[in-house]
Amino acid sequence: MAWEAVIGLEVHVQLNTKTKIFCSCRNEFGADPNTNVCPVCLGFPGVLPVFNEKVLESAVKVGLALNCHIASYSKFDRKNYFYPDLPKAYQISQYDMPIAEDGYIDIVLEDGVKRIGIKRVHMEEDAGKLIHGQGVSFVDYNRTGVPLLEIVSEPDMRSPEEAYAYLVSLKQIIRYLGVSDCDMEKGSLRCDANISVRKKGEDSFGTKTEIKNLNSFKGVRAALEYEIKRHISLIEAGEKVVQETRLWDASRQITQGMRSKEEAHDYRYFPDPDLLPLVVDKEYVERCRSSLPEMPSAREARLKSQYNITDYDAMVICQEKDWADYFEEAVKSVRNPKKCANLMITMLFEQLNERQVDIKDVNVPADYIGRLVDLWDEGKVNNVAAKQVLIEMLDTGKAPERIVEEKGLLQVSDESKLEEFAREAIEKNPKVVDDYRSGKRNAVMFLVGQVMKLSRGKANPQKVRELLVRLIETQ
C-alpha cells in the first residue's frame, strides 16, 4: 500500500510595527548591533513591559484574514528557558489562550482548491540574535522584543507541494495586510515543519519529527521530501521514527538530529503577572474587519470578471497587492485591458525583475503605462517599439508619446512604404522566394526579417508577412 505524508507548519512572522512589543525601542532591521535596546527589552530587574496596541491590531487583522475566531479574552504567559539570546530567561508568549483560533486558508493546487486548517495565531516577543565567529560568539539584542505572530496550521497538508502552496498563500495574505514583509532572507518569516508518514487510508497519525533551520520555501519543500523518504525507509526496515527536532542542512540537503538533551523542554508556562489580560470587544474586531483590504483570491476573481482577463493574468497580477493596485490604476483609461495585463506581465515585470526594483519605487506613473498600452493597441507602435518605450520610460520617467516622437518609433503602417520594402526584399532574395514557392513556407520569415530591418524595426510584422505572401503568390 502507498504511503501518505502528514504535514503541519509553524510559521513565525515578524510584525513591522514602528516599535517593539513591550517597550518603545525602534523595530528596525539592519541597525548597528545593540543600538535599539533599553532596560525593558534587555531584561533588567524591576522594569515593566507596556503592551504595544498596534501589535494587537495586526494580530486581529491576520486572525480575521485567516478566517479565525478572535478571542474576546486572552492573555500573555511566560515561557521559561535559559539561552544567551534571551536576557530575561523567559519569553513573553501566549500559551493556552491565544488571540485567534480555528481558521483556515484555501490553497490552490493543480487539481483544485484545498482547505488547510489554522489551529491558532498567537503573539509573542522575538529573542536576540547570536552571531558565531571563530571561537567566539556575539549577541545582538536589537531583535529582542520585536513582535512576532506564530501561526500554527493543522496537520492538513499531504505533500511537500501542498506545504509550499500553503506558505505562498500565507505570505501573500500577510503581505496584502501590510503587517510584515515576510522576507525569509531577512528572517521576518521563519518556518518549522512537522512531518509524519502513514499508510494511505489509515486514520491515526505516525510519529512526527520537527524540522528547523529552514531558510527558503524551496528549502522547506526539499527538507520535507528528504524527511518523508527517511521516515518511510526507517519503517520499511522495521525500525521506528524517533520523535525529535532535526536541523536542515541546506548545503548537504539532509536533516540531522539534534542532541536529545536539548529536546527535554519544560517551559513552566504561567501567566505574566506584569501584563493585564487582553479584552477585545466586538466593536474592535469589527473595526479591524472593515479595515481589511480586498484579499488576494477575491481580488483575483474580481479582476478576471471586471477586466475580462485570463485566470493566469489575474493570478500573476494579484500576487502582490502593489502590482494589483498599479494595474488597476494603469487600466483605468485603457481601451483594451487584456493588453494592459499583457504588457505588465511580459514587459514591465521582466524589467522590474532585471532592475531589481519594486513597483512602488518606479518613477513611471501608472497612467503612462496605460497610455503606452493604447499606443500599442492602436498599432501606433509595434511590440519591439513598445518595449523600447517602456525601457526609456523606466530610465527617464518621460511620457510615452514624447519618447515615441523623440525616438521616431511610430510604426510604419503606410501601405505603400511597406510595399516598397517588401518588393525590395523579394528582389534581393530570389533563392528564398524559390524556397517558399517549393513549399518551405517558413522561408517567408527571412523576408519578414529583411523588411523589419528596412523599416528599422517599425513595421508591423504580422502585416508584413501577409503582404509578402500576397506579393509572392500573385507575382
Query: What residues make contact with ligand ADP under the rule CB under 6 A?
Result: 6-10, 152-155, 194-196, 205, 208
Work out what residue 154 binds among Zn ion, ligand ADP, none; the CB cut-off runs from 5 to 8 Å by kind: ligand ADP
Q: How far apart are CA 190 and CA 213, in angstroms?
A: 9
Number of residues lying near Zn ion (CB under 5 A) = 5
Dihedral over alpha carbons 27, 220, 137, 26 (to 10 degrees): 0
Give the nearest distance from C-beta 268 to ligand ADP in angstroms: 16
Least distance from Zn ion to the Cβ atom of residue 237, Å:
52
Nearer to Zn ion, 40 or 107 (CB): 40
Q: Is 356 left (phi over 0), alpha (psi -120 to 50) or beta?
A: left
* 3-state SS class at 248: strand
The candidate with the shortest Cα–Cα distance to 226, out of 156, 184, 111, 234, is 234
Q: Is 393 in the site for Zn ion (CB under 5 A)?
A: no
Q: Which does 149 bind (CB under 5 to 8 A by kind): ligand ADP, Zn ion, none?
A: none
At a CB cut-off of 8 Å and minimum separation 6, what does 345 contact? 313, 316, 317
> Minimum distance between the CB of residue 327 and ligand ADP, rounded to whole angstroms?
35
- Residue 196 is placed in which grid cell? 509524519
Q: What sign results for the dihedral spanned by CA atoms 461, 463, 466, 470?
A: negative
Q: Which is nearer to Zn ion, 38 or 315 (CB)?
A: 38
Residue 284 Cβ, how far from Zn ion at the closest point, in Å? 26
Q: Which stretch binds Zn ion (CB under 5 A): 16-24, 50-58, 201-209, 310-318?
A: 16-24
Residue 102, CB-side half-sphere exposure with 13 Å CA sphere: 4
Distance CA 199, CA 224 (A): 17
10 interacts with, out of ligand ADP, Zn ion, none, CB within 5 to 8 A per kind: ligand ADP
Q: Write down the least CB distance from residue 19 to Zn ion, Å.
A: 8
Question: Which is closer to ligand ADP, CB of 5 or CB of 309?
Answer: 5
Among residues 16, 131, 144, the alpha carbon closest in space to that of 92 is found at 144
Q: How far is the CB of 46 from Zn ion (least distance, A)?
A: 15
Closer residue to Zn ion (CB): 47 or 247: 47
Letters for 297-316 (x = contact with Zn ion by CB under 5 A, - = none) are --------------------
Closest separation in Å from C-beta 224 to ligand ADP? 10
Helix, strand, or coil (residue 52) = coil
Residue 195 partner contact from ligand ADP, Zn ion, none using kind-dependent CB cut-offs of 5 to 8 Å? ligand ADP
Count of CB atoms situated within 10 Å of the CB of 449: 13
C-beta closer to ligand ADP: residue 219 or 337:
219
- Provide CB contacts within 8 A for 24, sequence distance 6+: 38
Name the residue number minimizing CB distance to ligand ADP.
8
Q: Outline where 109-195 has alpha helix (H).
A: 160-177
Residues 21 to 50: which contact Zn ion by CB under 5 A? 23, 25, 38, 40-41
Q: Residue 133's CB: how many other CB atoms inside 10 A?
A: 7
The residue type found at 81 is Y
**For binding to Zn ion (CB under 5 A), which residues are involved?**
23, 25, 38, 40-41
